[in-house]
Amino acid sequence: MAMPQKEGPRANRDIRGVREVQLIDETGQNRGVVSFFDALKIAEEAGLDLVEIAPNSTPPVCKLLDYGRYKFLEQKKAAEARKRQKTVEVKEIKLRPGIDTHDYEVKMKAMRRFFEEGDKVKVTLRFRGREMAHQDLGYKLLLRVKEEMAEIAKVESEPQLEGRQMIMVMAPR
């Protein structure tokens, strides 16, 4: 049965199948190619760990450092990267074919805000009752939205009819 793979780089006696390593000491100085056991001995004498930095090079590059501290700093770096990452959400704006001018402007203002925050917007135009007979009015309304938002957003999916609603998805430029 195979041993489960550990996360992160190999350290000390976990480094196997290697006779020689390129050794870099704790100050960052290159000590050259050293036998693996000598490198391990140097690490133990310094009270540090021998950590494999570049396992795919020949010979593998190993560095003398405090492995616990190294792992802690790597976790901290990963957490920082996750914190800075922004998830793109899809916001929805619902319209009707006979929307009033002021209501339309309020919806456009909200859309602009969504695009500035880096979110995508799904514009849903709902038809009720006999409005289905005037789908062209709805299509013209979506084209108007598309034209007004052209400088700050691009259309990801063109207006298409799904049942009683017409849908268009836009993303920030």
What is the CATH number assigned to the segment(s) 90-172?
3.30.110.10
Q: How far apart are the C-alpha atoms of 124 and 158, rounded to whole Å?
A: 12
Average pLDDT, consecutive stretches of 10 residues, N- to C-terminus, the chain (173 residues) = 62 82 87 88 89 85 89 90 82 92 94 91 93 90 91 91 92 89
Q: What's the full length of the chain, in residues?
A: 173
Are residues 52 and 9 in contact, defined by beta-carbon separation less than 8 angstroms?
yes
Q: What is the DSSP letter of 16?
A: -
CA distances from 122 to 39, 89, 161 (A): 60, 10, 13
Angle between helices 135-148 and 101-116 (to 10 degrees): 50
Specify the pLDDT at position 3. 53
Specify the pLDDT at position 6. 61
pTM: 0.54
Domain ranges in the chain with CATH number 3.30.110.10: 90-172
Are residues 88 and 70 in contact, defined by beta-carbon separation less than 8 angstroms?
no
Q: What is the DSSP string of 60-95?
A: PEEEEE-HHHHHHHHHHHHHHHHHH--PPPEEEEEE
Specify the pLDDT at position 107. 94
If you search the block for the tokens 């052209």, which residue do you land on? 150
Domain ranges in the chain with CATH number 3.10.20.80: 12-83
Sheet containing 165-172, strands listed edge to edge, beginning at the edge strand earlier in sequence: 90-95, 120-126, 165-172, 153-162
Domain 12-83 falls in which CATH fold?
Answer: Ubiquitin-like (UB roll) (3.10.20)
